[in-house]
Amino acid sequence: MSDVLPDETRLAAEIERLKAGFPKTRELYRELCALLFFRFGITPTANRLYQLVKRGSMSTPTQVLLEIERERTASVRTQKELEAAARRAEQSETRHREEIQALQA
Residues 60-80 have pLDDT tens digits of 667 777 777 888 888 899 999
Q: What is the pLDDT of residue 11?
A: 84
Q: How many CA atoms lie within 13 A of 47 on its CB side?
A: 0
Task: State the DSSP string of 40-54.
Answer: H-----HHHHHHHH-
* pLDDT at residue 58 in the model: 47
The total number of structural domains that make up the chain: 1
**Residues 79, 10: Cα–Cα separation, whole Å:** 35
Are the beta carbons of 25 and 54 closer than 8 angstroms? no
Domain carrying residue 23: 4-104
Q: How far apart are CA 101 and CA 103, in angstroms?
A: 5
Q: What is the mean pLDDT of residues 89-95?
A: 95
**Pick from 9-13, 34-38, 90-94: least confident:** 9-13
The CA distance from 36 to 65, in Å, is 12
